[in-house]
Amino acid sequence: MFSGFSEETIQFFLDLKFNNYTDYFHQQHDRYIETVQKPFYEMIEDLGPAMLKIDPEMEVRPYKCLSRIHRDTRFSRDKSPYRDHLWFLFRKAAEPRDRSLFYYFELGPDRLSWGMGFWNENREALDIFRKRMRANPEGMLAFLNDLELEKRHLLLGGSVHKKMALPPEIPERLKRWYLAKDFYIGKWMPDYRQVYTEKICGTVRKDFQAMAPLYRLLRGYADEILQTGGE
């Protein structure tokens, strides 16, 4: 059962940042398992039942959800072999990553965030979203208002289409949603002290559940694209 991350979790990330080489990590491997991987796995396991209620096809196995500590440096100028932070994703099992709609949680010494969004742009799914907005802008606005995302400090992030025309029927409050290019809803300025207690798991669970109606809406659009082969 998850009881919070420890100061040793963060200290491991800091130590690895300044000793980012293979021999050091191998020497510290048991420490990594105990102070980093174990609490991440426990948090994933505690969130799993709630995630399956949101989507029964969600992948919730910890070793499938947690990111690798090893970095892929093939196409990066930074050849550091290890990450100084980790994240986990809840997404539909075996879904192609470039079209993946997922929930995420990320933690490191200088970062803490969680939310939901698309891995990449997924222009096709968001084009359906825009089509639905044009067809019923007031209905979409009411749907988003009912989620009360801003009240929970869950805000729309990502880039926008700078040259995309905004139809006249789209109200100002839907503008940012309509023009969205890289799409995610993320927690704004969470209290970092939460990570040291079990409360962080409850907070994340409630936020994930609050985003569930939007997840299911976008999940439907993504599935529609997958079923038609992106045509």
- pLDDT tens, 156-214? 999 999 999 999 999 999 999 999 998 999 998 899 999 999 999 999 999 999 999 99
Residue 44 in tokens:
């994933």
CA distances 169 to 133, 140, 164, Å, are 9, 12, 15
Q: Which of 85, 110, 115, 87 is nearest to 188 (CA)?
A: 115
The dihedral through the CA atoms of 175, 179, 184, 187 has a sign that is: negative
Q: What confidence tens digit (pLDDT) does each residue in 103-159 have? A: 999 999 999 999 999 988 889 999 999 999 999 999 999 999 999 999 999 999 999
Quickly state the pLDDT bin for 230 (edges 50, 70, 90). Answer: low
Quickly state the pLDDT bin for 55 (edges 50, 70, 90). Answer: very high
- CB 51 within 8 Å of CB 101: no
pLDDT at 201: 98
Average pLDDT, integer, range 62-66: 97
Q: What confidence tens digit (pLDDT) does each residue in 106-118 have? A: 999 999 999 999 9
Give yes or no for residue 6 having a pLDDT over 90. yes
Q: Which residue has the tokens 């910890």?
A: 62
pLDDT at 226: 67
What are the start-end ranges of the E strands in 109-227? 111-118, 154-157, 184-187
